Amino acid sequence: MKQLFALSAIGRDRPGIVADLAELIYECDCNLEDSRMTILGSEFAVLLLLSSADADVERRLGAGCKRLEWEKRLTVFFRPLEGDLPAQPVAPHGTTMECVVSGVDKAGIVARVARTLASERVNITDLHARSRPEPESGTPIYTLRMRIVVPREVDRRLLRARLEQVAAELRVDLTLEERPE
């Protein structure tokens, strides 16, 4: 029977981290089903979805993760997941949209926008945030870019109004546009 696992790892960025993780997956007779990898500051972070039919895979993954932590100085965590992968990708139950917020960096931007979305049962499926100095003044400008799925029963005009109210209170710009899935 096929088992699913989520595996996350973080460590100082360097060439070879992806190769180290890919070799672990191969050595444990796992299949890489899905992945997200990025560099955050000086750290490399990864989230992987693995599958395996090997009955001993959990023990082997555990030993391999400990080896990577010791030898490669990665912090690695994995856990088994319940259920199977869907035969077809699950279509979101709603409208896929992109929400972009930008303005002078200040505490609470992500918290306020995410809470507003959560209160409307909007699912954030992808999020990228970054603070960069403005070229002329050096003022830190924060940009939050999210892909969201708005349930069909949610009034998009009301959602937009609530998000625009939060943006006005934070003194940031906000755009909300429908995106193809």
Question: pLDDT tens digits for 86-116?
Answer: 555 555 689 999 999 999 999 999 999 999 9
Asked whether residue 108 is domain-assigned, the answer is yes
Question: pLDDT tens digits for 15-39?
Answer: 999 999 999 999 999 999 999 999 9
End of a domain among 81, 106, 136?
A: 81
Instruction: Based on the fold, state whether residues 51 and 108 are members of the same structural domain.
Output: no
The residues that bridge with 147 in the sheet, in sequence order, are 98, 126
Instruction: Based on the fold, state whether residues 121 and 48 are members of the same structural domain.
Output: no
Mind giving me the DSSP string for 78-113?
EEEESS---SSPPPPSEEEEEEEEEEE--TTHHHHH
Instruction: Based on the fold, state whether residues 45 and 121 are members of the same structural domain.
Output: no
> Sign of the C-alpha dihedral, residues 140, 145, 146, 150?
positive
Please give the pLDDT value at position 92. Answer: 60
- Distance (Å, whole) CA 100 – CA 113: 10
Enter the DSSP assignment of 53: -
Choice among 24-28, 63-67, 143-147, 177-181 with the minimum mean pLDDT: 177-181
Phi, psi of 169 (to 5 degrees): -65, -35
